[in-house]
Amino acid sequence: MATKVLPQSELEIMKAMWAINRPVSAAELNATLDKGWRVQTLITHLARMEEKGVVLCRRGPTINGVRCFYEVVQDKEAYMRREVTHFLERIRSISDEPLCDIFAKYGPEATKG
C-alpha cells in the first residue's frame, strides 16, 4: 500500500519510533515524545497510523498492564523517498522552472537581504 505523506504529528511519532527501533507501548512512546498528550490521544494517532499501514499493534498477553506493543512497518528510507517524490511533484505542478532557480527565487535564502 502506498503511504501518503503523514501529517506533522504522525511524522513526529514515526521519528520517535524509528529512534526507539523496537516494539513499544503507547505509554513509553508518549513519555519519549514529551508532547503533553494523554496516552489515549497517542493511541488515537497510532490507530490512524495502523489504518495507513505505517505502524502495527502487536496484541498479545498483558505484560505489566500493557496488551499492545506498537512497531514501525514503514521503512524510514522508503518514507523519505516518498516525501521527496511528493514534494517534487507538487513543485512541478506549479512551475516548470529548474529546481535550482525555484530555490534561488523562493527558498529561505531568497528572503534574506
Whichever domain contains 17, its CATH number is: 1.10.10.10
pLDDT per position as a tens digit, 24-43: 999 999 999 989 999 999 99
Angle (nearest 5°) at CA 29 between 78 and 36: 115
Residue corresponding to grid cell 531568497: 110
Q: Are 69 and 43 within 8 A, CB to CB?
A: no
What's the total number of domains in the chain? Answer: 2
Note whether 42 and 97 are same-domain residues: no
**Rama region for 48: left / alpha / beta (φ>0; ψ in -120 to 50; rest):** alpha
Place of cell 503507547: 26
Say if residue 53 is in the same domain as residue 104: no
Torsion, CA 16, CA 1, CA 5, CA 47, rounded to 10:
-50
Tens digit of each residue's pLDDT (9 = 90 or more) over 50-96: 999 999 998 877 666 668 899 999 889 988 998 899 888 988 899 88
52 & 79 share domain: no
Whether residue 68 sits in one domain with residue 14: yes
Whether residue 83 sits in one domain with residue 63: no
Would you say 24 and 33 are in contact if contact means Cβ atoms under 8 Å apart? Answer: no
Judge if 63 and 81 occupy the same domain. no
Q: Are residues 107 and 62 in the same domain?
A: no
Specify whether 92 is located in the same domain as 82.
Answer: yes
Q: Are residues 83 and 100 in the same domain?
A: yes
Q: In terms of pTM, does the model score above 0.85?
A: no
Same domain, 97 and 58: no
